[in-house]
Amino acid sequence: MKNSQMERKKYSVHNLVKLINERNKQNVRNKQLAVGADGTTSIKAGDGLDGETHYDFCHIENNGQCQNQKCSCKKLYRFKKIKKAPINKKFKGIVLTPFCEKYFSINDKATVENFGLSVIDCSWKSLDLLKKSKFANQRKLPYIIAVNSINYGKPYKLSCLESLAFCLYVCGYNKQCTDILNIYKWSSSFVNLNGELLDMYKLCNTHEEVKNVEDEFIHNSLNEKEKRKKIDHYKVIYEDGYL
């Protein structure tokens, strides 16, 4: 009888110690995690920057439209560079979507640090599904050329990875930008191809300034294209002695 009581007591003490250890671990995690009122979980800016997860980027699955093998969001998640979280109308962070009027700028950095940044994981072919979705802080991205294997060379049609890299670069998180880009071989050319334009956007403090830079860049590009059309290439080749 005494042995039985001793066993139960020993077992109870063991459970108590186990419970205390679990609570201590949970307290440590709670210090690292910011749990929103809507139940979303995110890592605050600056936490874990040298660990596996460098920043909190939430994303949601949208009807499984993305191709698993080519989905940059899913690969970012596998490499523990982003965290999954439900994004709804109560989400106070920045949500990247093409269906809004305001551009992302460095002015949004404080919101990103306090409440997080979200990309919505879906295919460009199913964008109509997002038109009805409304969020508190929606932002779109300006003219940037995609380098992903599906939409290479096309402006605006960025992957989730490229969208996040843009925001990181503009906010001054160059190390984290390079870190997430390194999961694909092709993604390293994103900054090389768009470097000049990215630096121009980085200096913009407001939506209006970003819009002006975009308009000026597109205008200058079109003028340059028209100038090239007017050049007599045969005349240039022969008169300049190339042949």
DSSP state of 155: B
Is 72 annotated to bind ligand? yes
C-alpha 172/C-alpha 203 separation (Å) is 10
Per the rule left: phi > 0, alpha: psi between -120 and 50, beta: everything else, 241 is left
Is 222 annotated to bind ligand? no
Distances (CA, A) of 140 to 125, 167, 173: 17, 10, 19
Is 156 annotated to bind ligand? yes
Is 145 annotated to bind ligand? no
Q: How many CA atoms lie within 13 A of 132 on its CB side?
A: 3
Can you point out the beta strands (E) in the chain? 33-35, 41-43, 57-61, 83-84, 94-96, 117-121, 137-139
- 216 with 142: CB under 8 angstroms? no
The residue length of the chain stands at 243
C-alpha 118/C-alpha 77 separation (Å) is 13
Binding residues for S-adenosyl-L-methionine, by number, are: 72, 120, 141, 156
Binding residues, by number, are: 72, 120, 141, 156
